[in-house]
Structure 1
Amino acid sequence: MPAVKPFAECIARPTDDGKRYPLTSHLSGAAKTGLTWLEKEDKASQTLFQMAVLCHDAFKAQPEWQSYINRKTPGGEGPVHAPPGAYLFSYIGYHYLKQEKQWGRLCREWIRWIRDIADHHGTLKNLDILEEGRWIKRFKEETLDFSGLEKFFHHQIPTLKNIPINVSQLDIWRKKVRNHVEEVLENMDIGRSDWSSLQAMRELQHWRQKTMALIAGDRLEIQPVNSHWLGEKEHQRHVKEMESFCQKASHHPLAALRQKATESIMEQLEASQEQSMFTLEMPTGYGKTLTALRMASWLGENQGYKKIVYVAPYLSILEQTAKVIQDAMKADVLEHHSLAIMDETSQEESGSVNGTYRNQRLATETWAHSIVCTTFQQFFRGMLPRKAQDVLRRAFLQDTVIIIDEPQIFNTDLWNVFLISLEAVSSMINGKIIFLSATMPAFHYGLTQEPKKLSFKTKEQPDRFTLRILRNPMREEELVEHCLEGNQKTQCLIVNTIRDAYYLYEILQEKNQEKNEEESSELYLVHGLMTPLHKKMIIEKIRKRLKAKSVSRMIVVSTQVLEAGVDVSFQRVIRAKTIMPSIVQAAGRVNRHNEMGKDKQGSLEVVTLLRNGEKDTSTAIYPRSLLRITDALLEEKDGWRESEVDNLIKSYYDEMFRENTYEQSLQYIRDAVEGRWEKLGSLEVFSQHYHTLSIFVPWDPEEEDRQYLPPAFIQLQQRFGINSAEEVYAHYSDWNFIKKKSYEDRKAFMVLFHYYVISVSMKDALKHVPREDFLQGKTPMLFSEDSYHPHTGLTSHFEEDHNKFL
C-alpha cells in the first residue's frame, strides 16, 4: 500500500515555471474566488458552496494522484477523484444542514452539489443516477490523510468543528446516504401540482450559476485571466468610428434610407430604453447589424453596459460580422466557435500545458473579452450546458448586451425553451437582448412579455422585387429552360438539396456547351459539400463578378448557403418550394441594394421542383406542416410586392403557432427541475436528421483563382508558413508540432485546418474514406483525387444513385 502523504504537503497540479500549487491553497483560493459570484446568497448557501469546493478536489491527496501529478512526463487521464469527493461532500453537507436546521430548505442544493462535484470534469448527468450508488463505494479512503483533511476543513469552515471527518464515519454514512438521496428525489417530484416553466427555469439557471462558480473558482484560482470591459469613453469612440465608416459608404444606393432607418431606430430605443428585450426589424440590406451595434454602444454609454455578445446561426455569418465590428468599430473581437476548440482537459489537469497557454485558453472559454462573437450552439450550451466546463461561458456575462441574429433559423421545436432560458438568464445578469431579423418568429409562447419592436418603414422605401408563384411544377430540364428563357443578366437558382443543385448545374453546363461564347453564361455552383475555403472563394468570385459592369450573363446554382448572411444581389432568383422564412431570406438576394434603379424591380419566383419529374424534395428538408401553411398563404394570389411580404411572414408565424404552440418541449424543463437534466442539456439548436462524419479534403485552388482567397486564410498560411492542404494535414497529424504551440496558435491552426473540412452523411463518407480511418479518433483525409471536383465539390458519389434525397 502506498504511503499516506500529509494532506498539507499535497499539491493540486505540477510545479509550473518554479511555481508550486499546494492543494490546501488551491482549495481555499478556489472557494474564495467562486464566492465572488455568490455574494447575494445567504450564509448557509455560501457555506454549502465553500464545502463543495473543498471536497471537489480533496481526493487529489490520495497517493496515486500525487504520483501521477509528479510524473516527469505528464499526460493522460489521472486517477478518479471526483466521485469520492462527491461522497465526502454528501456526508459533511448533510450533517452541516442538520446541525444548522437547514435540511428542509437546502436539501435540493445538497443533492445538486453531489451531482456537480461528481461531474465537474465531464457530462452533467441526472440526479437519479445517484441512486445507483457507484459514487458511494469505497475509494481507498485509508490511503488519505483524514486527520490532516479534517483539520484543514475545520479551519476553513469553523462551523464544521463538531462534525468528525474520518474513515469510520464515512463507512457508517455509506449505509445511510442512499435513503437520504431517495428522500430528496421524492421531494423534487412536482407531481400533479401547478408549475411555472419560467419559475422552474429560474431555479435551474440559479443552479447552473452555482455550477459556474464551482468550475470558475477551480480554474481561475490556478490561472486568473486578464479581462477588460467597455467604459463610457470606449462606447463613444465606437459610435464615432461607426459614423465615419457609414460616411465612407455614402455612395451606396440605399445610403440615405439606411441613415434615416438608423436614426429612427435610435429614437425609438431612447424612448423605450427601460425595456430589457428588443426586436430590430428592418428590410434586408438596410444595415441591421450596424444598427444593432449602434444600439449596443448607446446602451453601454447611457446605461453602463460593459460588454457585447453577438450570436450568429452559422460560422459564415459570425466571421462576416466579426470583420464588420473590426472595420466599423475599430475594435478587437473574440471569436468563439467549435472549429477553434480543442478538448485538452486532461492535458491541463496533468500540467502538460504552460501558464501562458492556460491563460489564453481560459480567457476564450470564459469569454473574458469586451466583444465576443459566437454561434447559436456555443451560446445555447452556455445557458443549458451539456458538460460542466460549458458553464464557463457565463462567468463574465454581467451587464451584457446580447445580439441574436437570424433567430428564425433556430430549431422550432426548442424555440420556447430557448426564450424561457434567455429570459431567466437575462434577468440574472442584467442583460439587454436584441433580436435581429427581417423574419421574426412569435415570442408570446416563450416570453412573459413581448420584446419592444423597433422597426423602420417609410413611403420612400422602394419595392425592390416582386414575388411570383409559378403554379406548374417543373422537372430539372424544364426549370433550366425557364431560367435560360429569362432576359435577366444575373440569376440564381436556390434549391433544397445538394443533389438537386448538382444535377441542375450539370444540365446548365450541357446547355452552355451547345452555345457560342457570346450566348453562353458564367456558371457557378455553391453547396455544403464544398470545403469552406472553396465556398468562400466561389462566393467572393461571384460577388466581384456581380459588381463588374462587364459581366455578360451569370447563373448561380446554390443550396440554402446563399440565403443568410451573404451579401450578393441578383436580378432574378428562382427558389424551389420551401417554407416562408426561406422565401423571405431568398428575397434578400434580389436587387438587394436597389442597384437596378427606381423604375426597375428584381424578380423572385417560387416553383415546385420535381426530381425526375416525380419527387418534391422539399419534404426531405422541411416539415410538411410548415410547407402546407406556406402553400396555403401563397395560394391567395399569384404575386406580391416587397412591401406586402411583411404581412405574409406575420400570417405564416401566426398560423404556425396556432396549429402548434411547440410547448411540448417545456417538459424538458420540468424533467430538469425534478433532477433529470440530461435531456435539457442535450438539446440541439439545429435539428439533424442523419449522422455526419468529418473529412479533410486536400483541395488547393488553381493559381489564377488565388486572388479570391480570403484575407484571413492568407494570414493563417503566412502565420504557419504553410502553402498547401497536404502540409496542413501533415502538421495536424504531428503532435510534436501541435504541442509546442501557444493556445492562440493552436486555436488559429485549427481554424486553418477546418478551411478544408466538410461534414458528410455517414453512409456517403464511408464511400470516400475507409471505416478504419474514422476509428482512429482523428479527421481522416480524402485520398482519391477523382472524388473532389474543382467546380462541383464532393459530388462523385451522386452519379451512383440519382434518386437519393440528400
Structure 2
Amino acid sequence: MYSYKLNSHENILLINHLKNVGDRCSEIITEKDIKFSYEKEKLMYVSKVMGYTHDLGKGTKYFQRYLDQMINYGKSDVDKNLRCHGYLSALYTYHLLKDYDEELALMAFTIVKRHHGNLENSDVEYTIDAIQVKSAKKLVKNQLNSLEKEEIKHILEELGLKYVDENLLLNSIEDIAYEAFEQLTQIQKNEDLEKYIVYKFLFSCLIFGDKEDAIFHKFNNIKYDIPYNIVDEYKKIKFKSKNSKLGNIRNQISEDVEKGIKESNNRIMSITAPTGTGKTLMSMSAALKLKKKLNKNMKIIYCLPFTSVIDQNYEVYSEIIEKVMGEEKVTNDRILKHHHLSEVHYISEWENYNDNKAKFLIENWNSQIIVTTFMQFFNTVFSSRNSELVKYNSIANSIVLLDEVQSLPFKYWLIINKLFKVMAEKLNIYFIFITATQPLIFEQDEIKELIDQPKKYFDKFKRTKLHVNLDSIDYNSFLVEMENMILENEEKNILIILNTVKLAQSTYEFIKSLDLENTRIYFLSTGIIPKERRKRIREIKTGNIQLDKFIYNKIKGLINDVSFKKINNTIIKLNKIKKRKIVISTQLIEAGVDIDMDIVVRDLATLDSINQSAGRCNRENRGEYLGDVHLYNINNENGKEYNSFIYDNYLISKTKEVLSEKNIIYEEEYLDMNKEYFEKVRKDMSEKESKDLIEAILKLNFKDVANNFKLIDSKDKVSVFIEVDEQAKNIWNEYKKIMKQDNPLIRREMFNNIKKDFYDNVINIFKNKVKESEEMGIAYVPYEGLCASYNKDTGYKVEENDVIL
C-alpha cells in the first residue's frame, strides 16, 4: 500500500481531504431535487471531480513548505504566487472534464480557480491576453517542476481519475484561454437565467464541502423530526382556556391557509391577512403542512426585513418546540437564528460549539428552521462573495417564508419576479410571500393566494379608521395639535411616528416639557443603542419598568439583601400603577414591533408604511373601540415636506393620488386601498434597475449583480460605538485588546466571543454626520465625551433633517 505524505491542512492528508470533498459535493446534489437542463447525474459527476481535484495544486513543494512553516512558526517566506494552488488545480479539473462536457468543464475550471475567492464577471474571468498567458505558463511551469508527481499519480488513481501529463497541462493554458473566449461569445447571447443559478450552485457545493471537511472532517447532516402539526399542538396548550373574537378569526384564517396548501400546486404563494392576525404562527404552520404534503426533507427559511424583530419571532418558535417537544429539544439543529449580530454559539443534542465550528454551522443554516433577515437571504441570492455563497446550496429543497414583503423596494420587483420563478423550479424552492399589504411583484396567474378571498377577513376587522389630511402643516402648528390631542385624551396611549430623527427628538422634548401626570414618555429611533431600544420596546409592550440586566446585577452585588429587596419591591409597586404611554418614534416601529396603542399619529409616508403604522393601533381589537390613526403632512420652515428626506417622491405621489379627496378611511377599506396603490406604482414605475440586473445575470457578471443589488445602501454609513456605561467601557477595552492581536484568525475568534455585547452598543450614522474620528475601524464616543454626542433619552445628536437609518 502506498504511504501518503502530502497534507492539505494541518494533520489532514491531501488524499483524504480530496476524497471527502468530492464525495460530499456529489452527496449534496444527490439529496437535492434539482431540475436543471443539465442531467442531474452529469452535475453529480462534475461536482465530484471538482472536489477530487480542487486542491491538487497543494501537492507542490512550495505549498507543503508554506503549510509546515505556518503550523510551526505562524508565518512563511514562501512566495505567495508559487504557493497558491487554485490555478494549477483548475487545470487538472478542466482536463479531466473537457471530454465529458466542454461547457461544464470550463465552468468547473473557473469555480476551482476561484474556490478561495469570490466569483468574478465573466468578461474578466473569460478574457486572457498574451501577456497573461505567458505569465500563467511561467508560474505553472515552476509549480509543476516542484510537484510531488508520484503521489499525485497515486491520488488520481485511488480517486478513479486518469493521470494528466504535466506538459499537456502546461501547453493547454492557451487552449483554455481560447475556449474561454468562445464561451464568452456564447454568454453574450445567453437569454436564460439558469446558467447563473447552476454556476452559483456548483460553486457553493464545492466551497461548502471544502470548508466543512477542513473544519469537521465529517458530514453534518440534519435529522428532520419537527412534527408537521406542532403549531396546532402548541395552540391547544397555549390558548386552551382563551376564546375571543380575534382568536376565532385567527383560527378561521389558519384553516383557510391550510386548505390553500392542500389545494395548491404552485411554487410561489402568498398569505394576505390583516395585521395582528397571528401571521407568525400561521406561516410556520403553513410551511410545516406544505413539507408534510411534499413528503420531503425541506428546510424552512423564515425571513424578516429587520434584525430588531428576529429575536421576537425566534423566541416564539423556540417556545413552540419547548412546549410540544420538550425543553431539551430546543436545539440549533432544529431552530436557528442568523443575522449579523448573532452569537457564535451552536447547540445540538449531541454537542455544543463556540468556535469556528459554530460559525460554520450558523452561517450555513445547519438547521430545520432558520429565522433570518431579508439581508442574509437576498445577499445569498445575489452575492458574488465566497462567504455568502457557501450557503447557496442550502436554499435548494427549502420553503422560504418572506414576511412583510411590502418592504421590498419596487425597483427590484421585476428581477425578483424573473429570478424567483426560475430558482423555484430549478432548485426546488417554495416561496410564500406574507403581508397585510401584498405588493404586485407577481401577476395573478403566477402566484397562489392561500387565503380564499382575503377581503372577507379585512371586512371583519373594524379596529381603526384613518383620518386623512394631506394639507401642509408647519411643525409648530403640528406641535399645538399634538398638545391638544394629548390633553384631550388623557387616558389614551398615543404613538407618534415621524420621518426624521431630529423631528422626533424635538417632538419628544416638547411633549416632555408638558409635564404630564400619570404618563410615561418613550423615545425610539435607530440612534438609540440596540440594548436600550429593546428594553424600551419591552416596557411599552408590557407596561412594566425593567432594569438593565447589568445594572440589576451591579446593584445586587453592591448592597445588602434587605436594601435590594426594597428596591425590587419599589419597582413592583411602580409597575402596578397603570400609566398611559406616549411613544415618539421614527419609522423603525412600523413592521414587526408588536405593540398596541389607542391612537397613532403618522407623518405622511408611502401607503404601505401608513398601513403598517395603522397596524400598531387597536391591534388586539378591544371590543367596540375604534382606534384613530391621524395622518399629517408636516413641512419645515422652508415649506419642504419632511417625507421628502426619507421616501421616493414617486411613491409619495402615488400615495397622494390614492388618498386624495378622502377624509376618513375605515380598516375594512385598507385592502382595496393598498391594491389601488400598488397598481398605480407598478403601472408607471421605472424597471431600469431590474433590467440592468437581468442583463448582468444573463452575462454571468456576478460582481456587477452583487454591487448593484442593495436592499439597504450602507456604503456611506459609519458604525459608532457608544460608551454609555461601565459595561460598555469594559467591552470597549476588551475590543482594544483584541484589535492588537496580530493573527487575524485569532482576532476574529476572540471578537466573536464579545460580538453580541459589542454591537448592543453600536449605531450606524451617515459618514458626513459623524462627529467622531474612527478608532480601529469604528467611530467611538467615550463615556467622558458622551454629552457632546449622545443623549441617553433621544440617542445620537443630529442636525435638522438628519437620518440615522
Normalising by structure 2, we get a TM-score of: 0.83
1-structure distance, mates of 2:685, 2:77: 47
Equivalent residue number for residue 569 of structure 2: none
Asked if the contact 1:227/1:369 (under 8 Å) is kept, the reply is: no
Residue equivalent to 2:15: 24
Secondary structure of residue in 1 paired with 2:481: helix
Pair 590,728 (structure 1): closer, same or farther in 2 beyond 3 Å: same
Matches within 5 A, 1:291-370: 291-306=282-297, 307-330=299-322, 331-332=330-331, 333-340=335-342, 357-370=355-368
Match for residue 345 of structure 1? none
- Partners of 1:778 and 1:504 lie apart in 2 by 30
Compared CA separation, residues 459 and 235, structure 1 to 2 (3 A): closer
Match of 2:115 in 1: 120
Q: Deviations over 1:181-224 (max 9, x none)?
A: 21221122118xxx3xxxx2233212211112211221223323
SS of the counterpart of 1:568? coil
Which residue pairs with 1:758 in the alignment? 763
Q: Which of 202, 213, 217 in structure 1 is aligned with 2:209?
A: 217
Partner in structure 2 of residue 793 of structure 1? 795
Counterpart residue number, 1:208: 200
Gaps of 5+ in 2: 323-329, 345-351, 546-574
Separation in 1, partners of 2:45, 2:82: 20
Work out whether 1:268 is the aligned partner of 2:293.
no
- 2:234 counterpart residue number: 241
Pair 643,725 (structure 1): closer, same or farther in 2 beyond 3 Å: same
Question: In 1, distance between residues paired with 2:645 and 2:171?
Answer: 59
How many percent identity over aligned positions?
A: 20
370 and 804 in structure 1: CA distance in 2 versus 1, 3 angstrom threshold: closer
CA deviations 1:662-712 (Å, max 9, x no partner) are 365133233233231112223445242761111111224xxxxxxxxxxxx
What is the Cα deviation at residue 636 of structure 1?
Answer: 3.2
- Offset, 1:367: 1.1
The secondary structure found in structure 1 opposite 2:479 is helix
Distance in 2 (CA, whole Å) between partners of 1:115 and 1:341 is: 34
Shift of 1:464: 0.8
Structure 1 pair 152–652 and aligned structure 2 pair: CA distance change class (3 A): farther
Query: Given the alignment, which residue of 495, 501, 517 partners 1:498?
Result: 501
Instruction: State which of 538, 541, 553 in structure 2 corresponds to 1:540.
Output: 538
Distance 2:224 2:802 in 1: 52
Offset of 1:612 from its aligned partner? 2.5
Which residue number corresponds to residue 631 of structure 1? 656
CA drift at 1:339? 1.9
Between the aligned partners of 1:312 and 1:76, the Cα distance in structure 2 is 45
Contact 1:475 1:613 in 2 (8 A): no
Aligned amino acid, residue 6 of structure 2: C
Correspondence list, 1:727-766, <5 A: 727-735=730-738, 747=752, 749-765=754-770
CA pair 415-566 structure 1, distance change in 2 beyond 3 A? same
* Change beyond 3 A, Cα 1:458–1:793: closer
Aligned-partner residue type, residue 433 of structure 2: F
Q: Does 1:9 align with 2:8?
A: no
1:633-652: CA deviation from partner (whole Å, max 9, x where unpaired): 10032111100011110001
> Letter of the aligned partner of 2:187 in structure 1?
M
Contact kept? 1:414, 1:685, Cα under 8 Å: no
CA contact (8 A) 2:261 2:289 kept: no
Moved more, 579-588 or 58-67: 58-67
CA distance change for structure 1 residues 363 and 805 in 2, over 3 Å: closer, same or farther?
closer
Of 320-329 and 37-46, deviating more is: 37-46
AA aligned to 2:232 is V
| Residue 84 of structure 1: how far off its partner (Å) | 6.0
Name the aligned partner's letter for residue 574 of structure 1: V
Residue identity matched to 1:335: K
Q: Judging changes above 3 Å, is the alpha-carbon distance between structure 1 residues 91 and 371 closer, same or farther for their aligned structure 2 residues? A: closer
Q: Letter of the aligned partner of 1:648 in structure 2?
A: M
Counterpart CA distance in 2 for 1:569 and 1:398 is: 38
Secondary structure at the residue paired with 1:269? helix
Quick check: 1:507 aligned with 2:534?
Answer: no
Q: Structure 2 residue aligned with 1:285, among 272, 276, 284?
A: 276
Letter in 2 for 1:578: A
Q: Please, what TM-score do these two structures have when normalized by structure 1? A: 0.83
RMSD of the TM alignment (CA)?
3.4
1:308, CA displacement in angstroms?
1.9
Mapped contact 2:66–2:83 kept (Cα < 8 A): no
Alignment of 1:178-197 (within 5 A): 178-190=177-189, 195=191
Are 1:594 and 2:621 counterparts?
yes
Match of residue 674 from structure 1: 699
Change (3 A) 1:681 1:638: same
The residue identity in structure 1 corresponding to 2:477 is E
Give the secondary structure class of the aligned counterpart of 1:228.
coil
For residues 331-350 of structure 1, give each alpha carbon's deviation from its aligned partner in whole angstroms, at most 9, with x where no partner exists.
442111112388xxxxxxxx
Q: Aligned equivalents of 2:619 and 2:535: distance in 1?
A: 21
Q: Which amino acid aligns with 2:376?
A: Q
> How far did residue 741 of structure 1 move?
9.9
Partner residue in 2 for 1:660: 685
Shift of 1:46: 4.6
Shift of 1:458: 4.6
Structure 1: unaligned runs, 5 residues or longer: 1-5, 15-19, 343-353, 701-722
> 1:246–1:227: structure 2 CA closer, same or farther, 3 Å change rule?
farther
Per-residue deviation, residues 714-773 of structure 1 (Å, max 9, x unmatched)? xxxxxxxxx7111222223333999999999965631222111111111222x1x224x1
User: What does 1:407-486 correspond to in 2, within 5 Å?
Assistant: 407-444=405-442, 449-454=446-451, 456=454, 457-458=456-457, 461-486=460-485
SS at match of 1:466: strand
Deviations 1:452-503 (A, max 9, x none): 3425535982411111112432222211111121223221211111121112
In structure 2, the residue matched to 1:378 is 376
Q: How many residues align?
A: 729
Matched, 1:611 2:636: yes
What SS class does the counterpart of residue 760 from structure 2 fall into? Answer: helix
8 Å contact kept, 2:304–2:403: yes
SS in 2 for 1:338: coil
Judge conservation of contact 1:86–1:114 (CA < 8 Å) in 2.
no
- SS of the residue 2:172 aligns to: helix
Residue aligned with 1:38, SS: helix
Retained in 2: the 8 A contact 1:523–1:554? Answer: yes
Aligned to 2:555: none
| Separation in structure 2 between the aligned mates of residue 121 and residue 427 of structure 1, nearest angstrom | 29
Alignment check: 8 A CA contact 2:723 2:782 kept: yes
Is the 8 Å Cα contact of residues 496 and 576 (structure 1) preserved in structure 2? yes
2:401 matched to which residue of 1? Answer: 403
Q: Residue 118 of structure 2 aligns to which amino acid in structure 1? A: T
Which residue type is aligned with residue 182 of structure 1? F
* 1:398, distance to aligned residue in structure 2 (A): 4.8
More displaced 10-residue stretch of structure 1: 114-123 or 652-661: 114-123
Going from structure 1 to structure 2, the CA distance change for 1:649 and 1:31 (only over 3 Å counts) comes to same
Match of 1:346 in 2: none
**Cα distance in 2 between the residues matched to 1:574 and 1:355:** 47
Alignment of 1:141 with 2:136, yes or no, is no
Deviation at 1:312, TM superposition (A): 0.9
Check whether the contact 1:279–1:434 (CA below 8 A) recurs between aligned residues: yes
- Secondary structure in 1 matching 2:28: coil
Contact map agreement 1:501 1:558 (CA 8 A) in 2:
yes
Residues 550-571 of structure 1 deviation map (CA, whole Å, 9 limit, x = unaligned) = 5455322110011111111222
